[in-house]
Amino acid sequence: MELTELTAVQLVEGYRTGAFDPVEATRAALARAAEIQPAVGAFVRLTADEALRRARESAERWRRGEPAGPVDGVPVTVKDLLLMRGFPTLRGSRTVDPGGPWTEDAPSVARLRESGAVFLGKTTTPEYGWKAVTDSPLSGVTRNPHDPARTAGGSSGGSAAAVALGAGPVSLGTDGGGSVRIPAAFCGVFGLKPTYGRVPLYPASAFGTLAHVGPLTRDAADAALLMDVIAVPDARDWSALGPAPGSFRAGLAGGVRGLRVAYSPSFGGQVAVRPAVASAVRHAVEGLAGLGAYVEEADPDLADPVESFHTLWFSGAARLVQRFGPHQRELLDPGLAEICGLGARRSALDYLAAVDARVDLGRRMGRFHESYDLLVTPTLPLTAFEAGREVPKGSGLGRWTGWTPFTYPFNLTQQPAASVPVGTDPDGLPVGLQLVAARHRDDLVLRAAHALYEAGVAPG
């Protein structure tokens, strides 16, 4: 296999045996990134000199038999909402001064740096990560690896496209309403939104406790590897959880036998799911049953919480630009400017009512998981649509939340959720299955996803 086709786990094993070294892997990943960039637009910038410097240092550590950590020498990309020391974090916006100073790493980036990861560059995001597709006034449109006329999804679209096309096997993304899972589904890769606080975040997101940091990877094993590195407390995040109870990689082997799985194909008929998506997800659910899980169709007590989500999301956007002057506001994505205006008109009582609705939704999902270990849904009710649009043409939808009803509820509840690729539609566009567990049970999500990969239900 080409080096760009290997997973992070396979790369590390190759370094250990001396089959190849981090410099070779990094050169291959950088060449692939440069090759795909004109057609797909996954990157804001490549940091080739820095990457090769770190790769050479890693190769020397492997020669001495002293790797710095579990991902030493693995090429990694970072969504351009997360700070990376020495390089601008522009957040998809022309309002950010690239002059910096840029002297600090985000917690997840810092943990990867300590473990010897090789940073290839920063991936694209819509402005401040505000929507579920990836285009911005700064970097233009990020396109789907399977059809450049389609969207890669968002807001971690650059990260998903990079992983899908071999420009590094793993990437760090963020997820405030589905922003890891949506592009994972559209691009055919694995994406995990961990339990809120499991991966620390600094600076805090303008969207508050809706925003999670999580990996986009080739498979669940790579995500578990990354989680063992980045799921570590950081004093800068006051809401971060304590240490994880054990190794995520070590927990992969448990399988799904005996797990109680609720399969909700459409949230009780609330969501119109395209037939090709429904068929691919149902086939994968049958695979879970074949692996020994107890599966039954069951819907959570989940009235659509979109208005509560909008109040929290739009208010966060308004707070984000509150101190912007007229010139900065003129530079904003028009859609972002619109929701900022909507958020500014929400009152404190509106916001607290949304918090109350969120608390009640969390209570209902907590009770649901007393009966079921996992909830399975489609990640999205559709496959990738035209690039450069917030909503599909002719859909009549107003905002991106209209076509993401399976994802944003679990940002409100802070539960771990992942998207697993489980097939394609007749146009060859990927379909994603979503796995959801109770808060703090990231291990179950990863175990079930890994079982699907091991059984060949999810393409490796």
- Cis preceding linkage at 107, omega within 30: no
> pTM here?
0.98
pLDDT given at position 1: 76
The pLDDT score that the predictor gives to residue 303 is 87
Residues 6 or more apart in contact with residue 452 via CB below 8 angstroms: 220, 284, 287, 288, 420, 422, 433, 458
Tokens of 220: 């669940």
Among candidate residues 371, 135, 106, the one with its CA nearest the CA of residue 232 = 106
Closest to 49 in 3D by CA, of 103, 21, 99, 87: 87
How distant is the alpha carbon of residue 174 from its chain centre?
5
How far is residue 176's CA from residue 375's CA, in Å, rounded to a whole number?
A: 20
pLDDT tens per residue across all 460 residues of the chain: 799 999 999 999 999 999 999 999 999 999 999 999 999 999 999 999 999 999 999 999 999 999 999 999 999 999 999 999 999 999 999 999 999 899 999 999 999 999 999 999 999 999 999 999 999 999 999 999 999 999 999 999 999 999 999 999 999 999 999 999 999 999 999 999 999 999 999 999 999 999 999 999 999 999 999 999 999 999 999 999 999 999 999 999 999 999 999 999 999 999 999 999 999 999 999 999 999 999 999 999 988 899 999 999 999 999 999 999 999 999 999 999 999 999 999 999 999 999 999 999 999 999 999 999 999 999 999 999 999 999 999 999 999 999 999 999 999 999 999 999 999 999 999 999 999 999 999 999 999 999 999 999 888 6
Contact 256, 42 (CB under 8 A): no
Determine how many CB atoms are found less than 10 A away from the CB of residue 100: 11
DSSP string, 184-207: HHHHT-EEEEPSTTSS--SSPPTT
- Tens of pLDDT, residue by residue over 225-254, are 999 999 999 999 999 999 999 999 999 999
- Please tell me the distance from the alpha carbon of residue 189 to that of residue 122, in angstroms, as a whole number: 18
Cβ-proximal residues to 227 (8 Å cutoff; 6+ apart), any chain: 192, 194, 198, 199, 215, 244, 248, 442, 446
Residue with tokens 């959880």: 241
What is the C-alpha separation between 38 and 216, in angstroms, rounded? 22
> What pLDDT, on a 0 to 100 scale, did the predictor assign at position 223?
98
Residues carrying an active site annotation = 79, 155, 179
CB atoms within 10 A of CB 363: 12
Say whether domain 3-307+342-454 belongs to CATH 3.90.700.10.
no
- The β-bridge relationship of strands 417-424 and 190-193 is antiparallel
Domain positions in the chain: 3-307+342-454
β-bridge partners, 121? 46, 77
